[in-house]
Amino acid sequence: MHKIINDITIQGCTHLALEVSSHAIDLHRTSSLRFDKVGFTNLSPDHLDYHKSMEDYLNTKLKLFNNDLPAVVNADIPEFEKIKAISRGRVLSYGKNGEDLKILSRIAKETGQEIEALIFGKKYQLNLNVIGDFQAMNLLLAIGLASINNRNVLENLEDIVPLLKAPDGRIDFVASLKNGASVYVDYAHTPDALEKLLKALKPHASNKLAVVFGCGGDRDKTKRPIMGKISNDLADVAYVTDDNPRTEDASEIRKEIMETATKATEIGNRKDAIEMAIANLEAGDILVIAGKGHETGQTIGKVVHDFNDKKIALEYITDKGL
């Protein structure tokens, strides 16, 4: 990481936004870095095979905020007051309950959303060509971080926001089929992320919402039945498949998911699952292939096989003339 930062600095990079994992904090991988400001989105069950409890997970994250740095924090989460209390620098709040950056309204469109926001006391009409309510929240966080030391960034905000695109693998648009159905890929691989993803996509689907997903092997097993239930409750159609089974028996992983995904179809081969899901799409449907996002490999045993969800989906759509 330090080499990469050094390399991009030599190449002329002046600003860096870095997502810091709890592992990086706990293992002091970022201890030698000097941050200018910090932001907090949310906390959901993840990495519990490492942290053992949500309390330990949160306390690890809070080490990034126990300082004098200015912080931008989600005001809609239960942990907001604790984060605010531990931070010794200026704290900006954002969200529906935000005081500094507040979402007033949000209208879901087919491939984006219209957001009315109150930012530092001024109303803005923001056209974001990325779908998902959590992406609206991420936008406010980014605006907050960018404007802490420079309010000039707000001058052309309404012109800049429509130019933004989703990162690879994050509600990443793949294609629209001739029948009007749409296909996306996303990195969601935790219960909270899957729930947010499906809730975000649902308003954009004029017909059915379908999801292809699985759970990784040699990782937190407790999330498997939780994610199965989430798919059962929030998706109209679900396909349970493999997602980096690693050294575990893939069929056992799927079995644990299927215990609560009672209306799902089980297809072990991920390529087959993606292709069947696309083949079954009807007009107005949305399909999201979840779990791997931008990844270019599928780990089976200790071997990483070339595999990319978006590439697989595009090839099938093209080959079948869909």
What confidence tens digit (pLDDT) does each residue in 101-119 have?
A: 999 999 988 778 999 999 9
- The CA distance from 21 to 18, in Å, is 9
Question: What single letter denotes the amino acid at residue 186?
Answer: D
Contact by Cβ (8 Å): 265, 163? no
Please name the CATH architecture into which domain 2-163 falls.
3-Layer(aba) Sandwich (3.40)
Residue 127 forms beta bridges with which residues? 114
Query: Which sequence spans correspond to the domains of the chain?
Result: 2-163, 172-320
Measured distance CA(306)–CA(311) in Å, rounded:
11
pLDDT (tens digit per residue) in 13-25 = 999 999 998 888 8
pLDDT digits (tens, 9 = 90+) for 260-276: 999 999 999 999 999 99
| Per-residue pLDDT, 184 | 95
Q: What's the pLDDT band for 55 if we cut at 50, 70, 90?
A: confident
Contact 270, 298 (CB under 8 A): yes
pLDDT digits (tens, 9 = 90+) for 218-263: 999 999 999 999 999 999 999 999 999 999 999 999 999 999 999 9
What's the whole-number mean pLDDT along residues 157-181? Answer: 93
Q: Which helix (H) or strand (E) holds 229?
A: helix 223-234
172-320 is classed CATH 3.90.190.20 = yes
Which of 165, 188, 175, 182 is CA-nearest to residue 295?
Answer: 188
pLDDT, position 48: 67
- Name the nearest CA neighbour of 23 among 47, 45, 42, 40: 47
pTM: 0.74
- More confident site: 200 or 289: 289
Long-range contact set of residues 116-124: C-beta below 8 Å, sequence gap at least 24: 119/143, 119/147, 119/154, 119/157, 120/147, 120/151, 120/154, 122/154, 124/154, 124/157, 124/158
Give Cβ neighbours of residue 34 (< 8 Å, ≥ 6 apart).
none
Residue 51 has pLDDT above 80, yes or no: no
Does the pLDDT at position 178 exceed 90? yes
What's the 3-state SS for 6-55? HHHHHCCCCCCCCCCCHHHHHCCCCCCCCCCCEEECCCCCCCHHHHCCHH
In the DSSP assignment, the letter for residue 129 is S
Task: Please measure the distance between the N-terminal and C-terminal CA atoms of the chain and give it in whole angstroms.
Answer: 42
- pLDDT tens, residue by residue, 183-220: 999 999 999 999 999 999 998 898 999 999 999 999 99
Q: What is the pLDDT of residue 76?
A: 97
Average pLDDT of the chain is 94
Residue 265 has, within 13 A of its CA and on its CB side, a CA count of 16
